[in-house]
Amino acid sequence: MSARDRTRNWLLGIWSAAALLYLFIPVFLIVLFSFNDNKGRFNFTWQGFTLDHWAHPFRDPDLAKALVTSLEIAALTTLGAVALGTFLALALTRYRFRGRGPANFAVFLPMATPEVVLGASLLAMFLVVGIDTGFWTIVIAHIMFTVSYVVVTVRARLEGMDPFIEEAAQDLGAGVWTTFFKVTFPMIAPGVVAAAVLAAAISIDDYVVTSFNAGQTQTFPLFIFGATRQGVPAEVNVLGTMLLLGVLVLMGLNLLVQKALNRRDRGIAAEPPSGTPTQAELEPAAA
Protein backbone atom coordinates (compact mmCIF):
# COMPACT_ATOMS: atom_id res chain seq x y z
CA MET A 1 0.00 0.00 0.00
CA SER A 2 1.49 3.29 -1.07
CA ALA A 3 1.69 6.37 1.14
CA ARG A 4 -0.85 8.10 -1.06
CA ASP A 5 -3.35 5.31 -0.54
CA ARG A 6 -2.75 5.49 3.18
CA THR A 7 -3.36 9.24 3.27
CA ARG A 8 -6.48 8.78 1.21
CA ASN A 9 -7.79 6.14 3.60
CA TRP A 10 -7.11 8.38 6.59
CA LEU A 11 -8.87 11.33 5.01
CA LEU A 12 -11.80 9.14 4.09
CA GLY A 13 -12.00 7.82 7.65
CA ILE A 14 -11.92 11.29 9.19
CA TRP A 15 -14.51 12.54 6.75
CA SER A 16 -16.83 9.60 7.54
CA ALA A 17 -16.36 10.09 11.27
CA ALA A 18 -17.29 13.77 10.93
CA ALA A 19 -20.41 12.90 8.99
CA LEU A 20 -21.45 10.31 11.57
CA LEU A 21 -20.80 12.79 14.40
CA TYR A 22 -23.05 15.28 12.67
CA LEU A 23 -25.76 12.60 12.51
CA PHE A 24 -25.40 11.39 16.06
CA ILE A 25 -24.81 14.52 18.20
CA PRO A 26 -28.50 15.48 18.47
CA VAL A 27 -29.45 11.90 19.29
CA PHE A 28 -26.66 11.73 21.85
CA LEU A 29 -27.84 14.98 23.48
CA ILE A 30 -31.37 13.64 23.88
CA VAL A 31 -30.03 10.59 25.68
CA LEU A 32 -27.61 12.68 27.76
CA PHE A 33 -30.25 15.15 28.94
CA SER A 34 -32.50 12.34 30.11
CA PHE A 35 -29.96 12.13 32.96
CA ASN A 36 -29.92 15.90 33.60
CA ASP A 37 -30.81 16.97 37.12
CA ASN A 38 -32.68 20.03 35.85
CA LYS A 39 -34.31 22.57 38.12
CA GLY A 40 -37.44 24.28 36.82
CA ARG A 41 -39.46 23.63 33.73
CA PHE A 42 -36.72 23.62 31.14
CA ASN A 43 -34.15 20.99 30.31
CA PHE A 44 -31.73 22.86 28.10
CA THR A 45 -28.65 23.34 30.29
CA TRP A 46 -26.62 20.65 32.02
CA GLN A 47 -27.04 20.86 35.78
CA GLY A 48 -25.79 17.53 37.05
CA PHE A 49 -26.37 13.81 36.79
CA THR A 50 -29.46 12.08 38.13
CA LEU A 51 -31.41 8.87 37.55
CA ASP A 52 -34.65 10.42 38.91
CA HIS A 53 -36.34 10.78 35.57
CA TRP A 54 -35.55 7.20 34.70
CA ALA A 55 -37.06 6.05 38.01
CA HIS A 56 -40.45 7.57 37.23
CA PRO A 57 -40.70 8.01 33.49
CA PHE A 58 -44.50 7.86 33.51
CA ARG A 59 -44.99 10.37 36.29
CA ASP A 60 -47.00 12.56 33.96
CA PRO A 61 -50.07 10.39 33.23
CA ASP A 62 -50.82 12.30 30.00
CA LEU A 63 -47.35 11.58 28.67
CA ALA A 64 -47.70 7.87 29.39
CA LYS A 65 -51.11 7.81 27.78
CA ALA A 66 -49.81 9.59 24.68
CA LEU A 67 -47.03 7.03 24.31
CA VAL A 68 -49.44 4.10 24.61
CA THR A 69 -51.72 5.73 22.02
CA SER A 70 -48.78 6.16 19.64
CA LEU A 71 -47.79 2.52 20.03
CA GLU A 72 -51.35 1.35 19.43
CA ILE A 73 -51.62 3.50 16.32
CA ALA A 74 -48.26 2.23 15.07
CA ALA A 75 -49.32 -1.39 15.55
CA LEU A 76 -52.63 -0.95 13.72
CA THR A 77 -50.96 1.10 10.98
CA THR A 78 -48.33 -1.58 10.44
CA LEU A 79 -50.94 -4.33 10.18
CA GLY A 80 -53.13 -2.34 7.81
CA ALA A 81 -50.35 -0.98 5.63
CA VAL A 82 -48.55 -4.32 5.31
CA ALA A 83 -51.75 -6.18 4.42
CA LEU A 84 -52.81 -3.60 1.84
CA GLY A 85 -49.35 -2.82 0.51
CA THR A 86 -48.16 -6.42 0.09
CA PHE A 87 -51.13 -7.36 -2.06
CA LEU A 88 -50.96 -4.10 -3.96
CA ALA A 89 -47.29 -4.80 -4.74
CA LEU A 90 -48.25 -8.31 -5.80
CA ALA A 91 -50.92 -6.99 -8.15
CA LEU A 92 -48.59 -4.37 -9.61
CA THR A 93 -45.81 -6.84 -10.36
CA ARG A 94 -47.67 -10.03 -11.23
CA TYR A 95 -50.68 -8.93 -13.24
CA ARG A 96 -51.14 -6.91 -16.39
CA PHE A 97 -54.31 -4.88 -16.19
CA ARG A 98 -55.77 -1.69 -17.55
CA GLY A 99 -54.47 1.22 -15.51
CA ARG A 100 -51.42 -0.63 -14.19
CA GLY A 101 -49.07 2.14 -15.31
CA PRO A 102 -51.05 4.95 -13.65
CA ALA A 103 -51.50 2.80 -10.52
CA ASN A 104 -47.75 2.27 -10.35
CA PHE A 105 -47.26 6.01 -10.50
CA ALA A 106 -50.07 6.85 -8.08
CA VAL A 107 -48.44 4.70 -5.41
CA PHE A 108 -45.64 7.26 -5.22
CA LEU A 109 -47.97 10.23 -4.81
CA PRO A 110 -48.36 10.09 -1.02
CA MET A 111 -44.56 9.96 -0.72
CA ALA A 112 -44.11 12.96 -3.00
CA THR A 113 -46.95 15.10 -1.66
CA PRO A 114 -45.88 17.57 1.06
CA GLU A 115 -47.09 16.28 4.41
CA VAL A 116 -48.85 19.54 5.23
CA VAL A 117 -50.93 19.25 2.08
CA LEU A 118 -51.64 15.60 2.80
CA GLY A 119 -52.73 16.36 6.36
CA ALA A 120 -54.89 19.30 5.41
CA SER A 121 -56.66 17.51 2.59
CA LEU A 122 -57.29 14.47 4.77
CA LEU A 123 -58.84 16.73 7.39
CA ALA A 124 -60.98 18.39 4.73
CA MET A 125 -62.12 14.98 3.55
CA PHE A 126 -63.02 13.79 7.05
CA LEU A 127 -64.99 17.01 7.61
CA VAL A 128 -66.87 16.69 4.33
CA VAL A 129 -67.76 13.06 4.98
CA GLY A 130 -68.67 13.97 8.55
CA ILE A 131 -66.27 11.76 10.46
CA ASP A 132 -65.13 13.04 13.83
CA THR A 133 -61.35 13.18 13.92
CA GLY A 134 -59.59 11.16 16.62
CA PHE A 135 -57.80 7.84 17.12
CA TRP A 136 -59.24 6.09 14.06
CA THR A 137 -58.72 8.99 11.68
CA ILE A 138 -55.05 8.99 12.70
CA VAL A 139 -54.85 5.27 11.94
CA ILE A 140 -56.53 5.80 8.56
CA ALA A 141 -54.18 8.66 7.72
CA HIS A 142 -51.08 6.72 8.78
CA ILE A 143 -52.06 3.63 6.82
CA MET A 144 -52.69 5.84 3.83
CA PHE A 145 -49.21 7.29 3.64
CA THR A 146 -47.23 4.27 4.84
CA VAL A 147 -48.78 1.96 2.22
CA SER A 148 -46.53 3.55 -0.40
CA TYR A 149 -43.40 2.60 1.53
CA VAL A 150 -44.63 -0.96 1.94
CA VAL A 151 -45.45 -1.25 -1.77
CA VAL A 152 -42.04 0.05 -2.79
CA THR A 153 -40.18 -2.25 -0.39
CA VAL A 154 -42.16 -5.40 -1.17
CA ARG A 155 -42.22 -4.71 -4.89
CA ALA A 156 -38.43 -4.53 -4.99
CA ARG A 157 -38.34 -8.02 -3.50
CA LEU A 158 -40.99 -9.35 -5.88
CA GLU A 159 -39.22 -7.98 -8.90
CA GLY A 160 -36.07 -9.82 -7.95
CA MET A 161 -37.99 -13.09 -7.77
CA ASP A 162 -38.20 -15.55 -10.68
CA PRO A 163 -41.92 -15.50 -11.64
CA PHE A 164 -41.63 -19.07 -12.87
CA ILE A 165 -41.27 -20.18 -9.25
CA GLU A 166 -44.91 -19.33 -8.63
CA GLU A 167 -45.86 -21.05 -11.87
CA ALA A 168 -43.94 -24.10 -10.70
CA ALA A 169 -46.00 -24.19 -7.51
CA GLN A 170 -49.23 -24.04 -9.50
CA ASP A 171 -47.88 -26.64 -11.87
CA LEU A 172 -47.31 -28.94 -8.89
CA GLY A 173 -50.92 -28.66 -7.78
CA ALA A 174 -50.99 -25.59 -5.55
CA GLY A 175 -53.97 -23.27 -5.96
CA VAL A 176 -53.73 -19.50 -5.74
CA TRP A 177 -53.73 -19.30 -1.94
CA THR A 178 -51.49 -22.28 -1.34
CA THR A 179 -49.03 -20.78 -3.81
CA PHE A 180 -49.10 -17.50 -1.91
CA PHE A 181 -48.66 -18.95 1.56
CA LYS A 182 -46.26 -21.79 0.71
CA VAL A 183 -44.10 -20.07 -1.88
CA THR A 184 -44.64 -16.38 -2.56
CA PHE A 185 -44.92 -15.19 1.03
CA PRO A 186 -41.91 -17.13 2.39
CA MET A 187 -39.88 -15.73 -0.47
CA ILE A 188 -40.89 -12.10 -0.03
CA ALA A 189 -40.86 -12.34 3.79
CA PRO A 190 -37.63 -10.31 4.14
CA GLY A 191 -39.24 -7.47 2.21
CA VAL A 192 -42.45 -7.70 4.22
CA VAL A 193 -40.57 -7.61 7.55
CA ALA A 194 -38.50 -4.63 6.42
CA ALA A 195 -41.66 -2.88 5.24
CA ALA A 196 -43.36 -3.49 8.60
CA VAL A 197 -40.46 -1.99 10.54
CA LEU A 198 -40.46 1.00 8.23
CA ALA A 199 -44.22 1.54 8.55
CA ALA A 200 -44.05 1.30 12.37
CA ALA A 201 -41.16 3.75 12.58
CA ILE A 202 -42.82 6.27 10.28
CA SER A 203 -46.12 6.04 12.15
CA ILE A 204 -44.61 6.47 15.63
CA ASP A 205 -42.85 9.73 14.87
CA ASP A 206 -45.28 11.40 12.48
CA TYR A 207 -46.29 14.85 13.61
CA VAL A 208 -47.60 16.89 10.67
CA VAL A 209 -50.33 14.66 9.25
CA THR A 210 -51.30 13.53 12.73
CA SER A 211 -51.75 17.06 14.02
CA PHE A 212 -54.41 17.72 11.38
CA ASN A 213 -56.40 14.59 12.04
CA ALA A 214 -55.94 13.93 15.75
CA GLY A 215 -58.99 15.69 17.18
CA GLN A 216 -58.69 15.37 20.96
CA THR A 217 -56.33 12.42 20.75
CA GLN A 218 -52.77 12.97 21.99
CA THR A 219 -49.94 11.02 20.39
CA PHE A 220 -46.40 11.06 21.66
CA PRO A 221 -45.06 13.57 19.09
CA LEU A 222 -48.12 15.80 19.59
CA PHE A 223 -47.62 15.74 23.36
CA ILE A 224 -43.96 16.68 23.11
CA PHE A 225 -44.67 19.49 20.71
CA GLY A 226 -47.37 20.81 23.03
CA ALA A 227 -45.14 20.43 26.06
CA THR A 228 -42.31 22.50 24.60
CA ARG A 229 -44.52 25.57 24.91
CA GLN A 230 -44.53 25.29 28.72
CA GLY A 231 -41.13 23.71 29.07
CA VAL A 232 -40.03 20.20 28.22
CA PRO A 233 -40.03 17.77 31.15
CA ALA A 234 -36.95 15.55 31.22
CA GLU A 235 -39.30 12.56 31.08
CA VAL A 236 -39.70 13.39 27.40
CA ASN A 237 -36.01 12.66 26.95
CA VAL A 238 -36.41 9.43 28.89
CA LEU A 239 -39.32 8.27 26.77
CA GLY A 240 -37.60 9.51 23.65
CA THR A 241 -34.56 7.46 24.56
CA MET A 242 -36.75 4.47 25.24
CA LEU A 243 -38.39 4.90 21.87
CA LEU A 244 -35.01 5.24 20.25
CA LEU A 245 -33.94 2.00 21.91
CA GLY A 246 -37.20 0.41 20.84
CA VAL A 247 -36.64 1.36 17.21
CA LEU A 248 -33.02 0.18 17.41
CA VAL A 249 -34.23 -3.15 18.78
CA LEU A 250 -36.76 -3.35 15.93
CA MET A 251 -34.05 -2.62 13.40
CA GLY A 252 -31.77 -5.16 15.02
CA LEU A 253 -34.54 -7.74 14.90
CA ASN A 254 -35.13 -6.86 11.26
CA LEU A 255 -31.46 -7.44 10.54
CA LEU A 256 -31.53 -10.79 12.35
CA VAL A 257 -34.65 -11.87 10.47
CA GLN A 258 -33.08 -10.88 7.15
CA LYS A 259 -29.95 -12.83 8.00
CA ALA A 260 -31.93 -15.88 9.09
CA LEU A 261 -34.02 -15.80 5.93
CA ASN A 262 -30.90 -15.37 3.86
CA ARG A 263 -29.36 -18.37 5.56
CA ARG A 264 -32.55 -20.34 4.98
CA ASP A 265 -32.35 -19.71 1.24
CA ARG A 266 -28.67 -20.43 0.98
CA GLY A 267 -28.50 -23.51 3.11
CA ILE A 268 -26.13 -24.18 5.99
CA ALA A 269 -22.80 -23.55 4.33
CA ALA A 270 -23.86 -20.03 3.45
CA GLU A 271 -21.54 -17.69 1.65
CA PRO A 272 -21.27 -14.28 3.29
CA PRO A 273 -24.54 -12.46 2.59
CA SER A 274 -24.17 -10.25 -0.42
CA GLY A 275 -23.62 -6.78 0.93
CA THR A 276 -26.81 -5.11 2.00
CA PRO A 277 -26.17 -1.43 2.63
CA THR A 278 -26.49 -1.86 6.40
CA GLN A 279 -23.88 -4.59 6.31
CA ALA A 280 -21.51 -2.42 4.31
CA GLU A 281 -21.91 0.47 6.72
CA LEU A 282 -21.15 -1.70 9.70
CA GLU A 283 -17.82 -2.82 8.26
CA PRO A 284 -15.03 -0.55 9.46
CA ALA A 285 -13.56 1.34 6.51
CA ALA A 286 -10.04 0.81 7.85
CA ALA A 287 -10.05 -2.92 7.01
Residue 22, SS3? helix
Residue 239, SS3? helix
Q: Could you say whether residue 178 binds other proteins (CB under 8 A)?
A: yes
Q: Could you say whether residue 266 binds other proteins (CB under 8 A)?
A: yes
Query: How far apart are alpha carbons 253 and 257 in whole angstroms?
Result: 6
- In degrees and rounded to multiples of 5, residue 212 shows phi and psi of -75, -30
Q: Could you say whether residue 181 binds other proteins (CB under 8 A)?
A: no
220-to-137, 238, 240 alpha-carbon distances in Å: 16, 12, 9
Stretch that binds other proteins, among 41-49, 127-135, 141-149, 180-188 (CB under 8 A): 180-188
Smaller CB separation from other proteins, 59 or 266: 266
Smallest gap from residue 178 Cβ to other proteins (A):
7
Query: How far apart are alpha carbons 9 and 74 in whole angstroms?
Result: 42
Q: Could you say whether residue 170 binds other proteins (CB under 8 A)?
A: yes
Smallest gap from residue 256 Cβ to other proteins (A):
17
Query: How far apart are alpha carbons 282 and 284 in whole angstroms?
Result: 6
Smallest gap from residue 93 Cβ to other proteins (A):
16
Q: Could you say whether residue 154 binds other proteins (CB under 8 A)?
A: no
Smaller CB separation from other proteins, 268 or 282: 268
Smaller CB separation from other proteins, 186 or 252: 186
Q: Could you say whether residue 173 binds other proteins (CB under 8 A)?
A: yes
β partners of residue 36: 49
Query: How far apart are alpha carbons 44 and 231 in whole angstroms?
Result: 9
280-to-52, 177, 274 alpha-carbon distances in Å: 39, 37, 10
Q: Which of residues 185-244 bind other proteins (CB under 8 A)?
A: 186-187
Stretch that binds other proteins, among 114-122, 163-171, 199-207, 221-229 (CB under 8 A): 163-171
Q: Which of 15, 17, 53, 18 is nearest to 32 (CA)?
A: 53
Smallest gap from residue 145 Cβ to other proteins (A):
32
**Site for other proteins, rule CB under 8 A:** 162, 164-165, 167-175, 178, 182-183, 186-187, 261, 264-269
